[in-house]
Chain A
Amino acid sequence: MPSPAAAIAWEFRRRHRWGLIAIIGYLLVLATIRLLILGPGQQVNFATTESFALRVVVPISVTFMYFLAVFSFGLAGDLAARQSMYPARMFTLPMTTAALAGWPMLYGTAAMAALWFATRFLAVWPADVDVPIIWPALLAASLLAWTQALTWMAYPLPGLRVVVTVVWLAMIDAIVVVALNYKASEVVMLAILAPHIPIAYLAARFAVGRARRGDVPDRRSMFAWFGRIADVLPRRPDNFSSPAQAQAWFEWRRYGRSLPALVGILLPFELSMLFVFKETPVIIFETLTGVLLTPPFMATFVAATVSKSNPYANDSYGMTPFQATRPLASVSLIAAKLKVTIWSTLAAWLLVLVAVPIALRFSGSVPVVIDWAHHLDTVVGTPRAIAIALLVFAALLATTWKQLVQGLYIGMAGRDWVVKASVFVALLVLSVIVPVGHWVTTNRRMFAALWDALPWIIAVLALLKTCAAAWIALRLHDSRLLSDRTLIIGAASWAASVFALYFLLAWIFPDLIVRHYLLANVAILAIPLARLSAAPLALVWNRHR
């Protein structure tokens, strides 16, 4: 290793070699198509924008995000922490602060530029698109440079890094979008973007310098009163009556307050729209829809903390020996998590149920909502209207809880590769499903064929779910994790829930509107079973390696 700069480059290369090999492989495929199959200079008229998105836009976007994480050291750090995410081990290297900040920034800038130029010159672009040459590379490099500077900065409050970084990057994006809207030339775009990298470098150098001195501002005392209020819910018992109660308290303190706190922070901003647009029913409807979707949406973020079995270590998904050696059965550890997620869901929805009527009352929007209720009453009748309202509320409540717990089986497995593979698969599925879904909805024949096959697709999914659940039940039985009685009670409760949901749906939607066998399969798919049952098995796999 001839120099520190080469050593830093080697570390990036060695640590992320598989990701980099995948990117190079993708670019080689693009080059082969462009140069060998189509021939140089050839352009193509894509039948749909989706096929272009699938081949170029999605991979380049994923690679861009990957580079953001790699070159800001974001894959190894804790985004929500106050401390700098720059690796502390590097602070003791005999290098200047300027070099510590500069080399990763330089490599990141080079990687982003290379990514853009490779895509620009190797990908097959639609013939009707005037593809810019330089400024996208500069935009990508600027966004990376600011991400590096802002993630390496220490913050006075936990979580502030995420807010500052998202807002700042969104502002840069907004400036670029406005400039494009005014059809700014390449030179103007370069003039707008060029100053960003040197300014971000100065900010990064300042951030690394502070972090190197161990200087972390602390303003948490400003919110100490909030923690004291939160401590009251639920009240700490002087002595826990059982290990299960102690473990539930432990889980509550770890993440139980996160969802109600997040919902509580967002609600005032969302509900303020009712006061501003109290005369506009459409905006009242959109605001209330947004408010009702807030708990399940925020639950997706909190779920990562619920699922992570070791929240105190950034680079490990395994259980800490402290947790693993508590004399508590693995099933009881999972039960405590499920219990706390139920409390958390109820607390978040309690906030919504209290805040919404108050906001409606004082904003004067109540008549609009009563008017909708009357409409629904007129169309379906009072009993069905009440049933629909209750079903929607129960579905939202259940969805919030489901969001919190459906990933437990992945997080509880405690394996780095399982978690990363699941994220990769989810991104892959999303990147395929979105363009394919759009293509299906715009292709009438395909849409009709899929619509006809929908009952079969749902039936196959329901069959797969029940088969998976049966296999998991057998494993739970063989491993003696759950007693036969518990397994039977669990299965009976699930079946009762499915029947209840089915009969309710069948009552609301007559057979003429939706076939009842379809509703039965929907009920099977809606009630959680397989993934939830797999969580104890995953925890045992983690706890006893």
Chain B
Amino acid sequence: MTVTEPLINVSNLTRRFGGRTALDSVNLSMPRGAVYGLVGANGAGKTTLIKHILGLLRAESGSVRVFGLDPVADPVGVLSRIGYLSEENDLPGWMCVDELIRYSRAFYPGWDDAYAEELRQTFALDPTAKIKNLSKGQKARAGLLIALAYRPELLLLDEPSSGLDPIVRRDILGAVIRTIADEGRTVLFSSHLLEEVEQVADHVTMISMGRIVLSAPLSEIKESHRVDGRVLSLDEIFVAKAAARADNI
């Protein structure tokens, strides 16, 4: 794959669950080296799109390519380059933090022990603590640690703010996302907290009822959405776009 080639290329992706259309002809192309915010209401299709990128869902129609590869056909090739933090907080409860780190490092040749230790100390995680005994915020930090420690080319964060208190959200998440983007890596994170997205994202993709209603650099979005000289907030833009989408259906 060349540097100019998109990191993620989703074309005409449609997915139905029974009678409900979760994704409707979604097209998305993400070049590397930026922070992408995927925003939408609950049930809009954010997690479904992320699961297609991870290969956890198979494209019913259309195609998904990550690093130029099909994530279903080549899960090892794709997943070994992605750091993923699930909204489900599903780390194995029986493992200690130390065991989780040692288990995870076996899968990634680029695992950085020093960085992992630095993250563990920053996140104040006790290596002997069992995952099941950690608080929700600590579990999210542990998940973030194993998603970051091998410096993945693409970091996928699905609702990363879930379970993190405001201080942790601002300090840790913001710093992590910035750091990774500065190093020329790419971050895609989904959220329905638009303020958070506004703080860290370079590029925003809005999804509503399974369709992408807006996808552009944040600065461009703000420039193009002014009312009487006032720049609309992302909240206001999103509500307007979602209402327009609902009217179209």
Contact = CB atoms under 8 A, between A and B. Distances in A.
Contacts of A324: 54, 56
A544 B88 contact: no
Interface in A298-351: 312, 320-322, 324-330
A371 interface: no
A312 B90 contact: yes
B226 interface: no
Contacts of A254: 94
A238 interface: yes
Interface in B41-97: 51, 54-58, 72-73, 75-76, 78-80, 82, 84, 86, 88, 90-95
B90 A240 contact: no
Contacts of A543: 55-56, 75
A327 B79 contact: yes
A242 to B, nearest CB: 7
Looking at chain A's contact residues, the main secondary structure is loop
Contacts of B99: 236
Contacts of A320: 88, 90
B190 to A, nearest CB: 13
B105 interface: yes
Nearest to A311: B92
Interface size of B as a range: 20 to 34
A325 B106 contact: no
A327 B86 contact: no
A296 B184 CA distance: 55
Interface size of A as a range: 20 to 34
A238 B103 CA distance: 10
Contacts of A240: 102-103, 105-106
B169 to A, nearest CB: 21
B54 A325 contact: yes
Interface in A241-260: 241-243, 245-246, 249-250, 253-254
B106 A239 contact: yes
A321 B106 contact: no
Contacts of B72: 544
A545 B76 CA distance: 17
B115 interface: no
A337 B92 CA distance: 17
A327 B73 contact: no
A480 interface: yes
A243 B105 CA distance: 9
Interface in A495-516: none
Which has the most chain B C-beta neighbours within 10 Å: A245, A329, A545? Answer: A545
Contact of B86 (A239, A242, A243, A322): A322
Interface in B97-131: 99, 102-103, 105-108
A325 B92 contact: no
Contacts of B58: 544-545
Contact of B103 (A246, A327, A329): A246
Given A240-B102, A243-B107, A327-B108, A321 B55 contact: no
A429 B144 CA distance: 48
Contacts of B103: 240, 246, 249-250
A321 B79 contact: no
A544 B56 contact: yes
Contacts of A325: 54, 56, 79, 82, 84, 86
Given A246-B107, A250-B103, A322-B86, A312 B56 contact: no
A122 B75 CA distance: 58
A249 B57 CA distance: 27
A327 B90 contact: no
B176 to A, nearest CB: 18
A239 B90 CA distance: 23
A441 to B, nearest CB: 48
A545 B57 contact: yes
Contacts of B107: 243, 246, 326-328
Contacts of A328: 76, 107
B92 A322 contact: yes
A300 B137 CA distance: 39
A245 B105 CA distance: 12
Contacts of A250: 92, 103
B108 A480 contact: no
Contacts of B88: 320-321
Contacts of B108: 327
A312 B58 CA distance: 24
Given A239-B102, A321-B88, A325-B54, A312 B79 contact: no
Nearest to B58: A544
A321 B156 CA distance: 13
Contacts of B80: 327
Which has the most chain B C-beta neighbours within 10 Å: A236, A543, A544? Answer: A544
A253 to B, nearest CB: 7
Nearest to B73: A480
Contacts of B84: 321, 325
A352 to B, nearest CB: 27
A240 B100 CA distance: 12
B106 A245 contact: yes
B145 to A, nearest CB: 13
Contacts of A544: 55-58, 72, 75
B53 to A, nearest CB: 11
Contacts of B92: 250, 312, 322
Nearest to A545: B57
A410 to B, nearest CB: 21
Interface string A223-247: 0000000000000101111110110
Contacts of A239: 102, 105-106
Contacts of A330: 75
Contacts of A245: 106
B90 A321 contact: yes
Contacts of B55: 543-544
A45 to B, nearest CB: 52
Contacts of A243: 106-107
Closest 5 CB pairs of A and B: A246-B106, A327-B80, A240-B106, A327-B79, A320-B90
Interface of A: 236, 238-243, 245-246, 249-250, 253-254, 312, 320-322, 324-330, 480, 543-545
Interface of B: 51, 54-58, 72-73, 75-76, 78-80, 82, 84, 86, 88, 90-95, 99, 102-103, 105-108
6 contacts: A239-B105, A242-B106, A246-B106, A312-B92, A320-B88, A328-B76
Given A239-B106, A325-B79, 20 more contacts: A240-B105, A240-B106, A243-B106, A253-B95, A254-B94, A312-B90, A312-B92, A321-B51, A322-B91, A322-B92, A325-B56, A325-B86, A327-B78, A327-B107, A328-B76, A480-B73, A544-B55, A544-B56, A544-B75, A545-B58
